[in-house]
Amino acid sequence: MTEYPDTYLLECITDIEALVAKNYFMNESEEEYEASINYDVIDPFASIQTVQQLTKIRKLNRAIGDNLKMLYDYKCQICGDNFGGRYGTRIVETHHIESFVVNQNNDSSNQIIICPNHHRVMHRTEPALDRARLLFNYSNGIQEKVVINRHL
């Protein structure tokens, strides 16, 4: 977030940095890498540096997603769960069905309200939505129906 509620700050890396990272992590998942880190390590070189860089800013109307969350009473449209409700908080998230980065479509018809678990799965697997049947199709053959629908 930035000082503006509808503006996000994205940190960019160069093509060369991305290629180096890709080659380094090609055969290791993020979880495996994080599990391999020794958490008792002291970092004497930790610092904050000021660098000049170009930054892409994602501008979108967050009220659309916030209103959809209220419409669904903070329940996941896929599993119907309101996980945060058990703890007296709201944890449900808004997911762009077709990637916002690709098409800049922030319309309500391109958003679904889902729990954090489904959100993580969606970003990892990028399932296709069969809009006619309101069914997410995953590449491993799993299908999940949208169980709560008031806007798609």
Average pLDDT per run of 10 along the chain, which is 152 residues long? 71 81 72 66 84 87 96 97 94 96 95 97 96 98 97 95
What's the CA gap between 30 and 37, in Å, rounded? Answer: 11
DSSP state of 86: G
Separation CA 40–CA 35 (nearest Å): 13
- CB count in 10 Å sphere of residue 111: 24
134: region left, alpha or beta (phi > 0 left; psi from -120 to 50 alpha): left
Where are the domains positioned within the chain? 62-145
The span from the CA of 140 to the CA of 58, in Å, is 31
pLDDT digits (tens, 9 = 90+) for 64-108: 999 999 999 999 999 999 999 999 999 999 999 999 989 999 999
